Amino acid sequence: MFGDLFEEDFSFVSNNQCGKGKKSKSKDTEPPAPREFTKLSGIKNQGGTCYLNSLLQTLHFTPEFREALFSLGPEELGFLEDINKPNVRIIPLQLQRLFAQLLLLDQQAASTTDLTESFGWNSNEEMRQHDVQELNRILFSALETSLVGTSGHDLINRLYHGTVVNQIVCKECKNVSERQEDFLDLTVAVKDVSGLEEALWNMYVEEEYFENDNLYRCGACNKLVEAAKSAKLRKLPPFLTVSLLRFNFDFEKCERYKETSCYTFPIRINLRPFCEQSQLDDLEYMYELFSVIIHKGGCYGGHYHVYIKDVDALGNWQLKEESKLMTEEKVQKDTENIKEMENPLTILKGILSEEESKQIPVDQLGQKLLEKKGMSWNKKYRKQYGPIRKYLQTHSQIFRLSPDDNKVSLKEMYHKLQFGSDSQGQGLQSPSQNNDIQWTSESLCTVLKDSASGSHWFDLNDSKVQPIKEKDIEKQFQGKESAYMLFYRKSQLKRPSEAQANPRYRVPGHLLNEMDAANVELRKRRMDCDSADNNIDLHLHLGSHYKLSNGALHPSLSRKESVLDLTIDKRKTLGDLRQLIFQLLEFWEGDVILTTAKSLPAGLHLYQTLDVCQLTLVTDWENLDDLIFTGDEMTLGGIGLPDGADVFVWNGKEVGGMEVLPGLDHEPLLLNVLRLAGYNEGGKGQHFIESQHVVPCSAELSTLWKALASPGGIILMNSSGSDKEVENWKVVPEEDMKKTVRSVGLTDGSSILVLDSHDQSLVNVASGNLTAFMHDISWLQVKNFCRLEAEEKQVKITATVETVMSDIKIKAIQELQLGEELVNDSCLRPIKRNGKLLSPVPEDYTVKEAELKMGSLLGLCHGKAPTSTQLFLYFIVGSDLQGGPEMEIVVEETASVIECLNLMLEKSGLPGDNWHLRRINWCYEAGEALSEEGARLKELNVCSGDTLVITEGKLPPKGFLKVPIWWYKPLMHFGHQESMQDQVNCMTWMMGALQVSPEGDSPAYVQSDIGLCYAGDVEISGEAFLEDLKIQAMTLPFFQELSVPSPEFLRAWILESRRPGKLLRNNQQQLNEYKLGGRVEICIEPLQKEDNLGPSDLLLRVQMGIPGERDYYHSVDLVWDISKECTAWALRHRLAAHYSLPVEKIEIAKYFPEKFEWMTISSWTQQMSKRKRKKKQESLQSAPFHLKDGDIIGVKNLLLEDGKDFSTVRDDIGKETQRQLAMEKKKSRQAQRLQNNVFSVGKVTTKHRKPEVALSINVGIFR
């Protein structure tokens, strides 16, 4: 309905790329990021679920909804571990778990994968975006269904249900006609309305009058009268949801559009004017906005996010400018605290106050200062304050010295002031304690919240959560990014104080434990990940195992012996790395020089040496501990050594006795050197011979010319890399010969062309360009199908992509030495790999326009190519498309279907008019019928090259079906008293019967346990019921010989591959509802008793094995109710009860007749005991069994036989026959390939448009 109206727009998402040298970690191993400074969790977008995320966040920040859901315990909802048990309410359980994660789990964004799986959504549904207003209604409906029978059955109604009353008042008798409507959300207009209050006024205050020609029939007056119609809100819900109609349709332009005009809505709204009862207190009508879902985009794409008011103050609201101000205040406060803590007066008073003896020696005071601060008085304070004894004497108002100045104590007044008790007995803090405040995120959050009144707003955009101001909501009044849904809560709803800033409030204990355990695991994973992030892999190339060759380093031994792979913490120093290498290489003698290296196409090259160790200038010899080393003391991360780096270990001078020059200036380049070769019989003319040469990037071009070109030769450069087009080759001028290889733009893989003196005719001397090559000239093959000669011949015609097809045809006629009269009576037709001639190519097309590849095979055939107004068509008579001959015809594209059919009948020599045309479908079968006989071929999109099928029989009238009816009777398996030869003869008779078809089809070899007999055709309306079809089938001559009491004694099947496929149930269902199609065939099975299968009943053919023989007793129909479960365990119990056998003493298998194979249905659940209920049991209706109506189930009685082989003699014969048919088919294909040894034509795949799917949530049945 909406098309791609709500497709996700990902233009705002950036692709994060891993940096060079960084290890890429999978999402499974990398822990999720912790929450950001807002302390709120977002929700991950699964691809197109932003609409779901916005609604879930709104419900999560509705505390009353969240806590009502939390109040439902496992005794009512069940456990997620028992997901396969009945009455386990998965959706509410997954919602509870998601809300707990959003409240307590320390991760940046929660996942909704488990929740969407409980909805029954697949990956396609998660990538497809829907309307959030539609989701709101569907999710509430699913929750109501899931909570049936629990104490939360009225959760949605209790919080969101309201009523509207519509009234019509007669102006004569004043009679009031009322109709009450329920609502969970109010839908209001946006077009031509200024805002929400005006829209509500138009809906619930303005009256509509019935007058003049538009009168109302009053039930009391029983006549047409004038009346007034109005609507009022009768009952207001605690939470009011308002949906804005932003999307409309322009009937003049016939296109959809989004209303982006200004539409205001208040933060607080009084609904008294819109209510039926207006006598209550104002607080009863006051609502406050707490959530705004926003749609960004247009009609054909967009994105959802939500503005939410943090009612319970769970988040840390901190805007950027306020964050900066708070940071500055915090830094200033910390600076003051540090200064106060570093004040020697404060430190000394603190030391003396802690002493039990009120007086201590001055020397001990200095020692205690060293123990407490780790630094002596002389080193820290002497320069500024002088000796300690002098400092104490200066502050005699605080410190008391003994007469000999050897002991010191605090004066009593300061001791009491700082550490005594006040009048109320509360201890006072010391200045140092009072000022030494540790700012945590919690205390900062508290300060911020206290700094402003009321709750704060946040923008929740999938995984991202940002604080916003209330006035930012006004920005969503208009534009492409504007409000789409509004959520209000009654002002009377107050939250308890214990819920404020308390995410654990009312969360069930089992979820608290789960989240606590998950947080512990997350912290552990993050620590492990942090440790792993600091590990880097290095590849140490050992210089003693390398040699210098052709300007680059190459290993003299294998890589395993030449390269040492090492993992090391990047926080280790270069000296640690060197020491580790010494330990690993015990044989090494001399210095270890480490140089970064890189593998180039030419080989390994060295760049920067890591061994330089420098000391900074020492100016303060007393602080020698503060020296900084930039060499061996630098960390590996500090010097920028990336993960996966190549490091060369050598002596820094030579490798293998040869000097090595490291650095970018000596980098070796690998160049492709090309020369011209002579004529090539492979189909091309002059072509390239390539060789590779390594040269230093600092070498001059003159050196390169002397090494590669002969005297008088020239060198050409290719400006487009490996492209060998003519126009890209340029001759190197004389003035560039002194330039280096790198300066002229040559890099690894660049190509240069060397021409000797005799090749220089190909060069335009004036421009320096290469003029021509033969390599762009190729050929097409033309095969003679005119049969004027004794045998067919084919020739090669030289051509380019611009050669016209008429010229190729004339050349081919001349090469084949055919008469000139064929020029006007022949055409060229491409030949497929299987030898089929395709439609002729228009003669005015070029090779490029005809989409022909060089080397393609064409056929020279009789007849003119069709003009631009004609169609070249293939057609086949009958339904045997594989074996029937394919004929050709040329018709005008304006011809009608009936005219085309008559031409085809005339050409094929078919009499009568009892025929119609059908298209070929994708699997090369007769498909859609061309039912409109008067329609033109062009109007029906019939194109040149299409294949049509002439099918016998007139098409039924429009709306009618022509259905072939077969009589179906399951044949009993052969008894054990028959001989083997009798079984084979009987099976051969049944196979012969199967080959009879109303249209002469040739079926493949299939199983022979069914009997089908063609009874005739029935023409019936698509609106008729299944019962009507059975009644008409009973009137056929074949069925009149049978004694069938009523249609209830007949069972109808859809015939698929000459076997009963889908079972048609419910006699009172219309045929159109089965979607039978125009080519459907029905088989009717007679029954001994009335058939009354329910929608959850599965019909199986069950047969018991004959003990000691490879055969079975007669099969019987077994009806199995699968409404509870359809598992192997349940089927075994049903069959055991049917045969009155112990469950553990039977073995069962399903039969696949098209393969003549049996698949044992495993009984693993019998040994699982208690664990079997916890492990998910696969349904037999899914892979690999795909159990359906009519399937054959074999049963073995283990009390009478031990063998578990379910196969029979008929299966052996059937498999052997299938094997022989497959061998013959394979030989036939191989022979056809050899006969038609031509070039394959590439197939073009088309991308089909995805079908539109309505939004739905699957919910179990609860009572």
Q: Does the pLDDT of residue 213 top 50, yes or no?
A: yes
Give residue-wise pLDDT tens across range 1101-1158. 999 999 888 999 988 999 999 888 899 989 999 999 999 999 988 999 999 988 899 9
Average pLDDT estimate for 833-844: 84
State what percent of residues in the chain have pLDDT above 90. Answer: 30
Tokens of 77: 């909802």
Task: Quote the pLDDT of residue 233.
Answer: 95
Q: Is 303 in the active site?
A: yes
Task: Quote the pLDDT of residue 1140.
Answer: 92
Report yes or no: 55 and 293 within 8 Å, Cβ to Cβ: yes
Rounded Cα–Cα distance for residues 595 and 572 (Å):
17
Report yes or no: 814 and 846 within 8 Å, Cβ to Cβ: no
Q: Does the pLDDT of residue 712 top 90, yes or no?
A: no
Give residue-wise pLDDT tens across range 840-871. 988 888 888 888 888 888 998 888 888 878 88
In one-letter notation, the amino acid at residue 513 is N
Give residue-wise pLDDT tens across range 515-525. 999 999 999 99
Task: Quote the pLDDT of residue 1010.
Answer: 62
Rounded Cα–Cα distance for residues 467 and 472 (Å):
10
* Beta bridge pairs of residue 530: none
Report yes or no: 498 and 67 within 8 Å, Cβ to Cβ: no
Output the CA–CA distances (angstroms, integers) from residue 504 to 18, 60, 105, 621, in the order listed. Answer: 38, 13, 11, 58
Residue 1125: count of CB within 10 angstroms of its CB: 15
In one-letter notation, the amino acid at residue 796 is K
Give residue-wise pLDDT tens across range 1010-1049. 678 888 888 888 888 888 888 888 888 877 777 788 888 8
Task: Quote the pLDDT of residue 755.
Answer: 75
Q: Does the pLDDT of residue 635 top 80, yes or no?
A: yes
Angle, CA 431 vertex, CA 425 and CA 433 arms, to 5°: 80
Give residue-wise pLDDT tens across range 867-889. 878 888 989 887 666 667 888 89
Contacts of 60 (CB under 8 A, 6+ apart): 66, 98, 99, 102, 103
In one-letter notation, the amino acid at residue 1044 is V
CA-nearest of 94, 178, 200, 186 to 137 is 186
- pLDDT grade, residue 360 (50/70/90)? confident
Task: Quote the pLDDT of residue 1246.
Answer: 41
Give residue-wise pLDDT tens across range 899-955. 999 999 888 888 888 888 888 877 677 777 887 888 888 888 888 888 899 888 777
Average pLDDT estimate for 797-821: 85
Task: Quote the pLDDT of residue 335.
Answer: 61
Residue 22: count of CB within 10 angstroms of its CB: 13
Tokens of 552: 């680059």
Rounded Cα–Cα distance for residues 808 and 799 (Å):
8
Average pLDDT estimate for 1090-1104: 89
Tell me whether the omega of the peptide bond preceding residue 601 falls within 30 degrees of 0, making it cis: no
Average pLDDT estimate for 327-339: 62
Is the full-model pTM beyond 0.75?
Answer: no
HEC profile of 698-714: CCEHHHHHHHHCCCCCE
- pLDDT grade, residue 323 (50/70/90)? low
CA-nearest of 90, 99, 180, 186 to 136 is 186
- pLDDT grade, residue 383 (50/70/90)? confident
Q: Is 50 in the active site?
A: yes
Report yes or no: 1082 and 966 within 8 Å, Cβ to Cβ: yes
Task: Quote the pLDDT of residue 626.
Answer: 37
CA-nearest of 437, 432, 438 to 340 is 432
Task: Quote the pLDDT of residue 1168.
Answer: 41
β-strands 593-600, 645-650 pairing: antiparallel
Report yes or no: 247 and 5 within 8 Å, Cβ to Cβ: yes
Report yes or no: 916 and 929 within 8 Å, Cβ to Cβ: yes
State what percent of residues in the chain have pLDDT above 70. Answer: 78
Task: Quote the pLDDT of residue 621.
Answer: 32
HEC profile of 544-577: HHEEEECCEEEECCCHHHHEEEEEEECCCEHHHH
Task: Quote the pLDDT of residue 229.
Answer: 94
Average pLDDT estimate for 85-112: 93
Q: What is the mean pLDDT of the chain?
A: 79
Q: Which of 452-461, 614-623, 627-636 has the highest mean pLDDT?
A: 452-461
Task: Quote the pLDDT of residue 1170.
Answer: 43
Query: Which of 280-284, 522-526, 783-787 has the weakest average pLDDT?
Result: 783-787
- pLDDT grade, residue 1231 (50/70/90)? confident
- pLDDT grade, residue 424 (50/70/90)? very low
Report yes or no: 613 and 629 within 8 Å, Cβ to Cβ: yes
Task: Quote the pLDDT of residue 734.
Answer: 79
β-strands 1146-1152, 546-549 pairing: unpaired
- pLDDT grade, residue 162 (50/70/90)? very high
Task: Quote the pLDDT of residue 1066.
Answer: 86
Output the CA–CA distances (angstroms, integers) from residue 1146 to 315, 1106, 1207, in the order listed. Answer: 62, 13, 16
Query: Which of 371-380, 549-558, 715-724, 801-810 has the weakest average pLDDT?
Result: 715-724
Give residue-wise pLDDT tens across range 741-778. 888 888 888 888 887 655 555 555 445 555 444 344 57
Task: Quote the pLDDT of residue 976.
Answer: 40
Average pLDDT estimate for 676-702: 65
Tokens of 1240: 């394959």
Query: Which of 146-150, 173-177, 212-216, 1202-1206 has the weakest average pLDDT?
Result: 1202-1206
Q: Does the pLDDT of residue 48 top 90, yes or no?
A: no
- pLDDT grade, residue 5 (50/70/90)? very low
β-strands 286-298, 481-490 pairing: antiparallel
Catalytic residue among 60, 130, 303, 541: 303
